[in-house]
Structure 1
């Protein structure tokens, strides 16, 4: 994996093979950040990265200047790897070892973007639970977005607050926003 843009543009990172992860492909990540680049000012963004894995998405936000980053993963070695890379690249990423659902139920953090990249084989009810927790607990700042990465075999378009999705190979990004009442 590599960092696409920002202060660490082109930096290649090699995650240990023992990590239980499926990092977002460079092609899909580049497409996602092209979308975000048109609508967001990265240095002003606060981001929560759920199921952070290798930290791939967090590094991209940090390299582009986002200062308030929180990466959540339940796997000790994933959290350890993110902390290691953050130190090496001097990136300010707050890492938390936690089950994502327990984190969402208890956190008082709010963010402009909550990015979730759960396992592609998740049951639909767990994708829905992520969405419901983010919106019911009001974890997004005004104008914030929930972005869920999932496989092309999963359809989240009937979830509350869904606005659109984009497909890149097998990866799909579904975008959710608070509805204006």
Structure 2
């Protein structure tokens, strides 16, 4: 795994093999960050990375200058790895070891970008809980964006606040926005 752009461009990060993760591919990361780059100034936003896994998405935000990044994962090994990597590169990443759904129910924080990379095996009901909790608890700032990564076979277009989706290889990203 490598950081594809920004201050730490080209740095390789090697997570332990035993982590229960499926990292976002470099091609998909590059594509999603091209979209986000046209919507946000990275040094002015706050980011929530849910089901953070190896922290790959958070490292990309940090490398581009984002100072307010929170990673949530319930696996202690993932949290430990993210903390070690963030310390190594002096990245401003905070971690929370928690069940993602419990975090979404209890947090009072708001974010400009919420990136979610749950297990691809999630059911539509499990996927639908994510935007439901984000919007019900008003976790997005005005003009904020919820980005959900999922298998291309999963169709989230019927969920409330859905805006559009993009496919990259076997991965898809669905974008959700507040409708004013």
Which category describes the TM-score, using the shorter chain as reference length?
A: over 0.9
* 1:110 Cα offset (Å): 0.4
Please give the alpha-carbon distance, in whole angstroms, between the structure 1 residues aligned to 2:110 and 2:126: 21
Correspondence for 1:30: 30
1:122 aligned to 2:119? no
TM-score (normalizing by structure 2): 0.99
1:98 corresponds to: 98
Partner of 1:152: 152
Aligned length: 180
Residues 110-139 of structure 1 deviation map (CA, whole Å, 9 limit, x = unaligned)? 000011000000011011001100000000
Indicate the residue corresponding to 2:55 in structure 1: 55
Which secondary structure does the structure 1 equivalent of 2:53 belong to? coil
Aligned to 2:89: 89
Equivalent position SS for 2:34: helix
The Cα shift of 1:39 comes to: 1.2
Instruction: Name the structure 1 match of 2:65.
Output: 65
Please state how far the C-alpha of 1:11 moved relative to its aligned partner.
0.6
CA distance in 2, matches of 1:179, 1:35: 19
Deviations 1:54-113 (A, max 9, x none): 000000000000011000000000000000000000001000000000000000110000
Shift of 1:155: 0.3
Alpha-carbon RMSD across the aligned residues, in angstroms, is 0.4
Measure the CA separation in 1 of the matches of 2:75 and 2:122. 17
Unpaired stretches in structure 1, ≥5 consecutive residues: none
Secondary structure of the 2:149 match is strand
Q: Which residue is equivalent to 1:4?
A: 4
Separation in 1, partners of 2:46, 2:38: 17
What is the deviation of 1:26? 0.3
Partner of 1:135: 135
Name the residue aligned to 2:40.
40
Partners in 2 of 1:156 and 1:16 — Cα distance?
A: 32
Moved over 2 A (4+): none
Residue 19 of structure 1 aligns with which residue? 19
Counterpart-to-counterpart distance in 2, 1:139 and 1:168: 27
Question: Offset at 1:16?
Answer: 0.5
